Structure 1
Amino acid sequence: MSLFRKSLASLGIGAAKVDTVLQRDVLIPGEALPVSIHVHGGETAQAVSNIHLFLCCRYEEEVASSRGDSQHRTEKVSQTCTLATWSLPEAFTIEVGEERLFDAELALPFNTPITIGDAKVWLETHLDIPLAFDPKDKDILTVRPDPLMDGVFTALEQAGLRIRQVECEAADGFELPFVQEFEFVPVSGPFHGRWRELEVVAYRDSDGLQLWFEVDRRLNGLSGMLSGFLGRGELKRQCHVPATTCPQQAGEMILDYLDQAT
């Protein structure tokens, strides 16, 4: 029976299970994410080589597409980026019916995507069990803007701009393989009638917040303006907000900059 149970456990039947509990419901880039990892023993003892945590998100990348003709085409492909990882420093054995608890902490990178629009961020937990099915757990995370970005978003909203679309696009020259792009439309306020849309790319580091802007004044507009610039490294109209700036001042700085630059 023991051998039979071990065989079933190797297929994931009656095997150990893992459940990760987040200690915070709302996360902010640049801060720590504390978690508790609960490992529940199954119907047979199992050796666990490691526990791995992966903080992940998706982004879009344009790749060449071949359809059997001479025309050059591109298509958007969804890619997964691992933002941060954590591993247990030692192996252990989980006995029948045993429960074990491990505490871990992941540092969220400054440029972890804000989870609005199509942006998704999740935490995967893997039990590494040799020669067996590896139990997994997946938790969807809620990521809100850090204070500087929140100050900028608040100011744009108060100026009559509304977020229409948010995308994570592949880009070179940054710490991560992508940047997050925010598309705004003016529905009232000083920019209504002057612009059709505003696209913003934000990049955060310990020195502060770097922002790039592209304004479309034409009636028919262009979709994904910044994604084209990103691929050629031609982003312009950039503004740097120092890390020591208070959120309200950050928002005022951006509005003044946009008013003068456009």
Structure 2
Amino acid sequence: MGWFKKALARVGVGNASVSVSLDDEHVMQGAERRVSIKVEGGGVPQSVTAIECSLRCHYMGWEEIRTGGEQGKKRQWKKLSHTLCTWSLPDAFTLLENETRELTTEFIVPDETPVTFGTENVWLAVRLDIPMAKDAVTELPVAILPSRPVDAMLKTFERLGFRIEKETTEQPKRGRRPFEQAFMLVPIQGPYSDNWSRVSLTVTPEQDMLELAMQFSAKGEGLSHLAGHLTGANKLDRTLQFDKSTSSENIALAIEELLGKIM
């Protein structure tokens, strides 16, 4: 019956399987993490040519569903996926019937990985490359925490009376990046609640620097406020740049100084 088991393994029945775990379920942007991979053999011996790993995320963006022709172009706004980083364990081996192997690897979480806030929009994917059979695949949701500088930025606004209302991870209108994550904050107390209805924060990593882009929306009502909203006259854009080694205290001071100038 060996040929029958091999035929089933080609379509995934009785095939090898793989599972994955992290040394810590919470992962910080820019941090290094150890990955444990467990490979279990199926009903027949199988060759594994490589173990491919990737960290991926979801974002909202435009997808072309019709590229042209007589009907013209058409696209839709939908959830897309992006590979943040990828690596492999290239050692080939033969996995015997019902054999178990445990391997470890490490990776560095890219700085642009979105903070998850408990949502499962970032995951680790592991695939066994098995010739002449269905590849074994597993996925592990990963909780991403903000890096120390990003955490300092968010905590500074929180201390000054702002609250995170929502976050979005979307394709930007301009720029070369596939997505950017924005935090929408609203002032709930303190002096800033008198002038601003909300502020949008976007952090962009650039080599050894972090750029904090802020868009402040002024409070108002009536037709003049509506006109300002349509023309952008009631919005104020400001940016700050920080070296990644900048202390949390200096990040807080820079943000407080900027807010003091635009009150």
- What TM-score results when the alignment is normalised by the length of structure 1? 0.86
**Partner of 1:34 in structure 2?**
34
CA distance in 2, matches of 1:116, 1:194: 28
User: Which consecutive unaligned segments of at least 5 residues does structure 1 have?
Assistant: 230-234
Q: Are residue 137 (structure 1) and residue 138 (structure 2) matched?
A: yes
State the identity %: 31
CA distance in 2, matches of 1:117, 1:23: 18
Q: Which amino acid aligns with 2:43?
A: E
CA distance in 1, matches of 2:50, 2:185: 44
**Partner of 1:43 in structure 2?**
43
Q: Which amino acid aligns with 2:116?
A: T
Structure 1 residue 110 displacement after superposition: 1.0
Matches within 5 A, 1:204-215: 204-215=205-216
Structure 1 residue 74 displacement after superposition: 6.7
Give the 3 Å change call, closer, same or farther, for CA 258–125 of structure 1 in structure 2. Answer: same
CA distance in 2, matches of 1:129, 1:92: 10
The DSSP-based 3-state class of the residue aligned with 1:192 is: helix
Q: Is the 8 A contact 1:181 1:202 kept in 2?
A: yes
Aligned length: 250
User: Which consecutive unaligned segments of at least 5 residues does structure 2 have?
Assistant: none
Matches within 5 A, 1:47-62: 47-62=47-62
Q: Which amino acid aligns with 1:40?
A: E
The DSSP-based 3-state class of the residue aligned with 2:56 is: strand
**Partner of 2:254 in structure 1?**
253
CA distance in 1, matches of 2:64, 2:16: 43
Q: Is the 8 A contact 1:206 1:243 kept in 2?
A: no
The DSSP-based 3-state class of the residue aligned with 2:194 is: coil
Q: Which amino acid aligns with 2:162?
A: L
* Larger displacement relative to structure 2 (133-142 or 199-208): 199-208
Structure 1 residue 118 displacement after superposition: 5.6
Q: Is the 8 A contact 1:118 1:167 kept in 2?
A: no
CA distance in 1, matches of 2:195, 2:118: 25
CA distance in 2, matches of 1:218, 1:90: 60
Q: Is the 8 A contact 2:57 2:121 kept in 1?
A: yes
The DSSP-based 3-state class of the residue aligned with 1:200 is: strand
- What TM-score results when the alignment is normalised by the length of structure 2? 0.85
* Larger displacement relative to structure 2 (50-59 or 118-127): 118-127
- CA deviations on 1:213-256 (whole Å, 9 max, x unpaired) are 1111144789xx9xxx9xxxxx9411112223211321231122
**Partner of 2:98 in structure 1?**
97
* Larger displacement relative to structure 2 (108-117 or 92-101): 108-117
